[in-house]
Amino acid sequence: DARVTQTPRHKVTEMGQEVTMRCQPILGHNTVFWYRQTMMQGLELLAYFRNRAPLDDSGMPKDRFSAEMPDATLATLKIQPSEPRDSAVYFCASGFGTSTGELFFGEGSRLTVL
Amino acid sequence: AQSVTQLGSHVSVSEGALVLLRCNYSSSVPPYLFWYVQYPNQGLQLLLKYTSAATLVKGINGFEAEFKKSETSFHLTKPSAHMSDAAEYFCAVSRSITGGGNKLTFGTGTQLKVEL
């Protein structure tokens, strides 16, 4: 049963600490997305990779957030330093990169920054 | 720019009643439209999608949606609600981006509550 795997599922940290979230996309998918979900803003696209190359990270605060794909089986989203306003659920999704193709979402990483 | 608007952040229906969740789109080109469902503490999963074939699209769990160009709408319906349908539903539109591929832009979501 192919699925997108995200770790950690839950993270509580203190302001100023570094946070790294990891995502294993479905094997064979060539696009990976990072979304952030909050009550106030809903689902926001943070970053998008195609064939491991970053194509769109316009939704990501550049001063503290970074996203990478060191290889085809791993995508990372890092926040350094973290702030309370970063508290949210972060979703990774992968797909085949076609305009009609669906995205497959992981179960999310719930981040709480105290 | 392509976008979707979901009318009604909360919808409540009785079990067995019709479910109608509204979505209107804005697009200068024929859009590809999607409905996703999110159950508590889970990621989103695809319910159905419109890709310019049939205007009436059938999805999983008895849901369907009709693409109406004249009304720029893609409303989601289910004839008879079940308790297990309680979830948040997101309408989304796909658009191409520079460099290839596409990205989904989601609506603000509609929380469906099903009451006995």
Chain segment A34-78, per-residue pLDDT in tens:
999 998 888 999 999 999 998 888 889 889 999 999 999 999 999
pLDDT at A2: 85
Chain B interface, best mutation among A29, A51, A98, A107, by max B CB count within 10 A:
A98
Question: How many Å is the maximal CA-CA distance in chain B?
Answer: 49
Angle CA(B102)–CA(A107)–CA(A73) in degrees, nearest 5?
60
Q: Do B41 and A33 touch (CB under 8 A)?
A: no
Provide the pLDDT confidence category of residue B100 given band limits of 50, 70 and 90.
low
Which residues of chain A neighbour B44 with C-beta distances below 8 Å?
A: 91, 93, 103, 105
Q: Are A19 and A13 in contact (CB under 8 A)?
A: yes
- Cα separation, A55 vs B84, in Å, equals 38
Does the pLDDT of residue B83 top 80, yes or no? yes
Strand residue runs (E) in B1-116: 3-7, 10-14, 19-26, 32-38, 44-50, 56-58, 64-68, 73-78, 87-96, 102-106, 110-115
Which pLDDT belongs to residue A57? 84
pLDDT at position A25: 97
pLDDT tens by residue, A3-30: 999 999 999 999 999 999 999 999 999 9
Rounded to 10 degrees, what is the CA torsion of A93, A95, A100, A105?
Answer: -30
Q: What letter represents residue A76's amino acid?
A: T
Chain A residues with CB under 8 Å of B41 CB are: 107-108
Counted across chains A and B, CB pairs separated by less than 8 A come out at: 66
- Overall average pLDDT of the B99-114 stretch: 87
Q: Note whether A46 contacts B: Cβ–Cβ < 8 A.
A: no
Please name which of A108, A28, A22, A24 lies closest in space to residue A73, comparing C-alpha atoms. Answer: A24
Joined together, the tokens standing for residue A100 give 């009609």
Residue-wise pLDDT tens digits, A70-105: 999 999 999 999 999 999 999 999 998 776 778 899
pLDDT for the residue numbered A62: 87
- B96: pLDDT strictly greater than 90: no
pLDDT tier at B103 (50, 70, 90 boundaries)? confident
Contacts by residues A104-107 (CB-CB < 8 Å, ≥ 24 positions apart): A104/A2, A104/A3, A104/A4, A104/A26, A104/A29, A105/A4, A105/B43, A105/B44, A105/B45, A106/A3, A106/A4, A106/A5, A106/A6, A106/A23, A106/B43, A107/A6, A107/A9, A107/B41, A107/B42, A107/B43
Tell me the per-residue pLDDT of B29-80, one tens digit each, with 9 for 90 and over.
Answer: 778 899 999 999 899 999 999 987 788 999 999 999 999 999 999 999 999 9
Neighbours of A54 (CB within 10 A): 16
Residues in chain B within 8 Å Cβ distance of A56: 97-99, 103
Put simply, whether A32 touches B (Cβ < 8 Å) is no
Of A43, A56, A102, the CB nearest to B90: A43
* Angle ∠(A61,B101,B70) on CA atoms, nearest 5: 100
Residue of A44, A105, A107 to mutate for B, most B C-beta atoms under 10 A: A105
Q: To the nearest whole percent, how much of chain B has pLDDT over 90?
A: 75
* CB contact (8 A) between residue A48 and residue B34: no
